[in-house]
Amino acid sequence: MQGGRVDYLAFSLLMLLAQFSPGPDMLLLIRNSLAHPLRAGLWTVAGIAAGLSVHLTAVLTGLALAVKESRVLFPALLLTGGAWLSWMALQLIRTRPEPPDASTGDQRLPLADRAAFLQGLLTNLTNAKAVLFLATVVLAWLGTAPTASRKFAAAAIILGQALLFWSLFVLALQHPVVRRGWHRTARPLHLLFGIGLLALGLNAIRDGIQLLRQPAPESPSIPYHASSR
């Protein structure tokens, strides 16, 4: 049954698995949580959640479908997102992590709250494939005539899970064993995160270019019927 507990539980589980699947949000979150103090990771979570709220608003109001069907807007979103991810990837690849502070055993690389928030926000907002996923899964779950309460439940589940479980994930990455491992392998991990983001960015750019190159659909022609007179 559509509104039953099993229905909501299945949706919650699906969205939780999707949020922890590999992607630009997850790569950025891991990197900021390991390379910077706890605040940076939590502000990154806040930025990603803010981006998710924009995506959800677009999905629930029907704007996401209009963007998806547009021959200009969706490729532009792919190109913009690909350029942002590629730029951020190159910054990571060029960065040489500082050695840990000898007195604390921790990395002294504070990241401004605003910068961490904006990184999370822009990375999520420019992830065009996240819009597609939300538009597909959320709209399918909502059904053809969703009630306002069901829409609110979808938004609450997605945003609540993002804030709660990503914050717990950031806290887990602060464990001394995890951070010591980061300090030992910071440079190769920076390269790995950078290469991963660069691959995602270039893939988005490629998809955007391919969509722009597709020929416009021909408008249906109206057959001409000569008069029999």
Q: What is the pLDDT along the chain (229 residues), one digit of tens a residue?
A: 444 667 888 889 988 888 887 788 988 998 899 888 899 999 999 999 999 999 898 888 887 777 777 778 888 888 888 888 888 888 878 876 555 554 445 555 788 999 999 999 999 988 877 777 888 888 888 887 788 888 899 999 999 999 999 999 999 988 888 877 777 777 787 788 888 888 888 888 898 898 888 876 665 544 545 444 4
205 within 8 A of 82, measured Cβ to Cβ: yes
Separation of alpha carbons 14 and 162, rounded Å: 13
Please give the single-letter amino acid code of residue 158: I
Q: Which two tokens stand for residue 145?
A: 């005539």
Distances (CA, A) of 45 to 19, 118, 188, 221: 12, 10, 24, 51
List the domain boundaries for the chain: 26-213
Alpha helices by DSSP H, 36-147: 38-61, 63-69, 73-94, 113-125, 128-142
Q: Considering the entire predicted model, what is its pTM?
A: 0.77
Distance, CA of 154 to CA of 45 (rounded, Å): 19
